[in-house]
Amino acid sequence: MTRPGRTLAAAAALWLALTGLGEALLWRAPLLPTAAAHEARVSDEAFRLLVRLAVPVFAFVVSVLVVAVARFRVRGRPEGDGPPVWGSPRVVGAWLGITGLLAMGIMVNPGLVGLSELMAGHRHDPDVVVRVEGSMWAWKVSYPGSGIEAAPEIVLPVDRLVRFEVTSIDVIHSFWVPAFRVKIDAVPGRVTEAYVRPTRVGEFETDPAFRLQCAELCGFGHAGMRMPVRVVPEEEFRSWLAAGGGKPPATCEPSGTELRIAAEDLVFDLGCLAAPAGRPFTIAFDNRDQGVPHNVAIYTDETAAEALFVGEIVTGPTEVVYEVPALPAGTYFFRCDVHPATMTGTFIVG
């Protein structure tokens, strides 16, 4: 065998070895998180196919580089340019033909085939509609027709088609649930839609892939803009809806005139505060969110039409003590004015 022949044989042998090793590793490597929806299965199959097709291409490039360095390297400073290398029209034509056919094949499958499979399940009315509103830096989730306007988590029934209606009230955010492989932008003034059919029960407490996460850089609190997702049997989901989202009524008893509350990860640590009637009191507010502004404001009810007290907005991490004048007995509403969709609670004066 001539020396060029041995060089080509070495490159071919290395290419075959690297390709075989790469394909074998792909069968065992845990490349992807939990797949918990029909859409996740379709996306994962497309991803794995593309990676398997990319392995021999990557192995070919690496093999040529390794053999070229081993065979044609020059020690020391070269005396001049090497001899010219002329390409073969047949090789160029074959290369263009093969890569062109591969590109067209990928456009058909998983391209058009995958899109068709994704859209096939979305051609009828959804079983559940969930409205999701993004704001800096929290999500407001509601279930139309159920009375649930600010759910603390996303709860979905398994094996049912869900339509998410996504929007934003300030900047562009992005709706993304890793377990579903579904991502769509939340655009101010516009409602975008995403469809999901969950296929397995799961929750964030045991699997972090079950979470709603903002996937569009939107400011200081971007990393904390998340919400738990729970997929449950349909009967449990109906019970959750009937219970108003599973939130028990807030109750607490006045314990003095010095109240404390903290904000961390864009939520209050307490859902209920209580103060004695007819006596001034203080609220020690601890904002633990780095670079995020919060406050505590008290209103007559959830409409926030009439303010009883509005605390200064402070950027964390910091602590501030609010001095609140005496309030008459009653049940009121408190919130963070910066994040009114998710940071709320009941204020009891008695």
Task: Report how far apart, in Å, the C-alpha atoms of 52 and of each of 58, 178, 206, 341 are.
Answer: 10, 22, 31, 45
The average pLDDT across 220-232 equals 89
For residue 262, count other CB atoms closer than 10 A to its CB.
17
Q: What is the pLDDT of residues 117-156, one digit of tens each?
A: 888 767 678 999 999 999 888 888 999 988 888 788 999 9
Burial class (CB in 10 A: 0-12, 13-18, 19+), 120: exposed
For residue 170, the 8-state DSSP code is S
For residue 222, the 8-state DSSP code is G
CA-CA-CA-CA dihedral for 26, 30, 35, 40, to nearest 10: -40
Task: Report how far apart, in Å, the C-alpha atoms of 254 and of each of 206, 299, 322, 323, 349 are.
Answer: 36, 18, 17, 16, 7
Q: What is the pLDDT of residues 238-295, one digit of tens each?
A: 999 988 776 655 678 888 899 999 998 778 888 899 999 999 999 999 999 888 899 9
Ranges of each domain in the chain: 3-72+88-120, 128-242, 258-349
Q: From the CA atom positions of the chain, what is the Rg in Å?
A: 30
The average pLDDT across 183-200 equals 95
Taking all residues of the chain, what is their mean pLDDT, rounded to a whole number?
89
The arrangement of secondary structure in 128-242, i.e. its CATH architecture, is: Sandwich (2.60)
The average pLDDT across 21-38 equals 87
23-32, 98-107, 153-162: segment of lowest average pLDDT: 23-32
- CATH, domain 258-349, list 2.60.40.420, 3.40.50.150, 3.90.1150.10, 3.40.47.10: 2.60.40.420
- Comparing 128-242 with 258-349, is the CATH topology the same? yes
98 and 53 in contact (C-beta within 8 Å)? no
pTM summary value = 0.71
